Every structure is written in C-alpha cells, then in structure tokens.
Amino acid sequence: MHDLVVHNARVYPDFGSGNPAPVSSFAVTGGRVERLGVTADAPARRRLDACGGLVLPGFVDCHTHLCYAGNRMHEHASRLAGAGYAEIAAQGGGIRTTVAAVAAAGEDELVAQSLPRLLALAREGVTTVEIKSGYGLTPEHELKQLRAIRRLGEIGGIRVIPTFLALHALPAGTTPEHYVHQVITDTLPAVAAERLAAGVDVFCEHIAFSVKDMLAVFERARELGLACRAHTDQLRNLGGTRAAAVFGARSCDHLEYTAAADIEAMATAGTVAVLLPGAYYCLRETRAPPVTALRAAGIPMAIATDLNPGTSPVASPLAILHLASTLFGLHADEGLAGLTRHGAAALGRNDIGTLRPGAHADFTLWDVPGPEFFSYQLGGIQPSARYIEGVPHDI
C-alpha cells in the first residue's frame, strides 16, 4: 500500500537528465518517490488526480540572502540617478545599510520581516531554499541571523538550508587581515559548534574580499566539515572561480566575467555554475555569463533568485526562470534544470530537485500547457498545489 498515488498527470521527473519525457503517474511511500509510472488503481492511502496538469520537482532556490531587516529602496533611486553598485558601496551604503538594520533588529524581528519573502518563494513553487547570513559581520549578529534562519526552517512548509556567508563586507574600522582572522578563529567555529550552517560562502570581488581571504576561510571550513561556495566574477575576474574550483567548492555564483580557463577548472572539478539573472537585471549589467561556453563544457548550470535587499530584490523564482531565458539564453529545459536538479547540486543534494525513485517527494502541480511555458510567459503563473515529502502544504 502506497501512501500517495499521483495520477492523470504529466510528470517531469528530472530536468537536465537528457530524458525530459513525462510520465503519467507516480507513487510515494515514507515521504519519498517510490516508483514512477504506476497504474491509476494502485492501492494507496491517498490519491491525487492531477486532471492532466503538469507535475514538477519542487523548485530549489539555491542562493538567497532573504533573511534581513529593512529595505534599500533609496538605493534604487540613486541607481536611477546614475550611481553604480561599487560607488554606493564605497560611500558606506549598500551592504552596510542592511548590516546596520540587522544589528538593530532582534531575532524575532528578523524572522517576522523575512517570513513574507520566504512565503513568496513558496507560493511560486519553491520547496527548498538556501538562505545565507552575511549581514551580521560580528560573531553576535551573524549567529543571531543564522538562528533566525533556523527558525524560518522550523516554521515548516519549506525546507531551509542555511549558509554562513563568512566574508561579505568589511566592517568599518578593521583590516581584511584582522577580520578574516576573527572569522576563522571566532565566528566559524561558533557556527560549526551550534550546527547553524551546512556550508560557507565568500563574496570574492574587488569591492569585497580577495582570493587569498576566500581560501583561508575555505581551509578552516573544510576542517570543520562545512561545504564551500563562492560569489565570483560578478563585477571583475579576480581568479576566484579557478581557485574555488581547484579547492573543491560546490559552486561558483554570478560568473559574468568568467573566462575559458575558469570554465576548464570548473569542468575538471565538477563545480556547479550558479547564474543569478536578478542581480544582472537590477544592476543593468551588460556582460552576461558565458552560457554557451558553460554549456559546451557540460557544466551544470543552476539559477537562483539571489533574493537580497540591494542587488536582487526579486522574490520570484518564476521571474528568474524567465530572465534566465530572455537575458542569458537558457533553453526551457535548462532553466527548469537550473531551478531543480542543478540548484540541488549546488547544495550538494541529489535527493531533492528530482522525482527519481528514492528522492524526497517534493513536487508542485501546475495548470500550464507545457514546461516551455515558464520561460515564455512572465507573470500570471502559480502552482495549484505544493507537496513536501508527499504532504500537501498551503501555498
């Protein structure tokens, strides 16, 4: 007896696997997909008649900074008036504005302000979301932010994977040497001891931290059993992608300035490329990531919202799916793979983002004509049902 049988559906179990053909049914037992293609009358405790609708693996938004306080509406206005991202950061605005708001907010306040963003992602079909810290900068506030992220995961209805964004911005009045030392000796061990993060991330950029700083954090993270990822090549190429790939990082994210040698290193190491069209769009960048070369090298490409208050206030995975196609040229199947299987791969997971037997039964039901519709239409689409581990959750 199965726990659940989904039938009369067009189930796309595994985007990006080279086999996009839909099946009409599947069975769930113990919260996991047991079998694809069962007869409609297979014995089950519950049944879901999909009425011919599309069933997709739940979306995995593998790169967000959605846990924060306040907003940065004023920055948008400055950008319209001609200010650049680096310029705003150099003037003490940007990330530091959010750092001040997070420092002033208590843990409850952080949870309360972040929850609507989490629910917005869920309403568009996200079943797993990665959330980074990085707006605390001191051990006290980074831990507070990570505890708020943990509480967002405990609310239920969406699986939350926490990341300690160890190097994001340099606090005023300190040097990179001093700050990196503090992160390595104080914050990182405290995060690991409290099991507040599954991995670490570093913003490797000329306005942020160097390749050397990144590798110092990665070494310590590895000793503590934490996976590594990096923001690289968003504004310039510092060699961070190559270094992160050679180190064994799970993903490199942004990649607008990534070059051929970097792609080679990623292909050799099996690094996932996480593309973030929301930041590219909001910053009105003109240099797109080298999608053709990434594709040719067989590198798994994930896409994510990068939901953050500064460069990507985009609480919509469906908008990202559309932008990845119109701005970066991802095919429909690639975009959906980017939000499912490859997003999961960036998090080191092969048991989500797919409906292969054995995977968690996280899925969504859609009344749309076909998978290509998602990269074609912008707006007006939402799932009619969302299941996590075989259990329906309110949208």
Residues that bind ligand DI6 (CB under 6 A): 65, 94-95, 98, 168, 203, 231, 279, 306, 308-312
What is the smallest separation between the CB atom of 89 and Fe ion, expressed in angstroms?
A: 14
What is the smallest separation between the CB atom of 338 and Fe ion, expressed in angstroms?
A: 16
Nearer to Fe ion, 48 or 217 (CB): 217
Residue whose C-alpha is closest to residue 306's, from 278, 282, 327 = 278
Nearer to ligand DI6, 2 or 96 (CB): 96
Nearer to Fe ion, 62 or 352 (CB): 62
What is the smallest separation between the CB atom of 192 and ligand DI6, expressed in angstroms?
A: 21
- Are 201 and 208 a contacting pair, CB within 8 Å? no
What is the smallest separation between the CB atom of 152 and ligand DI6, expressed in angstroms?
A: 18
Instruction: Write the DSSP symbol of residue 294.
Output: H
**If DSSP codes are grouped into helix, strand and coil, which group holds residue 21?**
coil
Instruction: Tell me which of ligand DI6, Fe ion, none is bound by residue 309, counting a contact when its beta carbon lies within the kind-specific cut-off of 5 to 8 angstroms.
Output: ligand DI6
- Residue identified by tokens 């689409």 is 381
Tell me how far apart the alpha carbons of residues 285 and 332 are, in angstroms, rounded to a whole number: 23
Using alpha carbons, list the distances in angstroms from residue 188 to 200, 211, 243.
Answer: 9, 18, 21
Instruction: Tell me which of ligand DI6, Fe ion, none is bound by residue 14, counting a contact when its beta carbon lies within the kind-specific cut-off of 5 to 8 angstroms.
Output: none
Please report which residue ranges of the chain form alpha helices under DSSP H: 73-80, 85-90, 95-104, 107-123, 139-154, 176-182, 188-193, 211-223, 240-247, 260-269, 277-282, 291-296, 317-326, 332-338, 341-346, 373-376
Instruction: Tell me which of ligand DI6, Fe ion, none is bound by residue 95, counting a contact when its beta carbon lies within the kind-specific cut-off of 5 to 8 angstroms.
Output: ligand DI6
What is the smallest separation between the CB atom of 99 and ligand DI6, expressed in angstroms?
A: 9
Instruction: Tell me which of ligand DI6, Fe ion, none is bound by residue 127, counting a contact when its beta carbon lies within the kind-specific cut-off of 5 to 8 angstroms.
Output: none
Binding site for Fe ion (CB under 5 A): 306
What is the smallest separation between the CB atom of 311 and ligand DI6, expressed in angstroms?
A: 4
Nearer to Fe ion, 57 or 134 (CB): 134
Q: Is 16 left (phi over 0), alpha (psi -120 to 50) or beta?
A: left
278-291 exposure pattern, b = at least 16 Cβ within 10 A, e = fewer: bbbbbbebeeebbb
Instruction: Tell me which of ligand DI6, Fe ion, none is bound by residue 310, counting a contact when its beta carbon lies within the kind-specific cut-off of 5 to 8 angstroms.
Output: ligand DI6
Using CB positions, name the residue nearest to ligand DI6.
310
Nearer to ligand DI6, 235 or 266 (CB): 235
Nearer to Fe ion, 24 or 241 (CB): 241
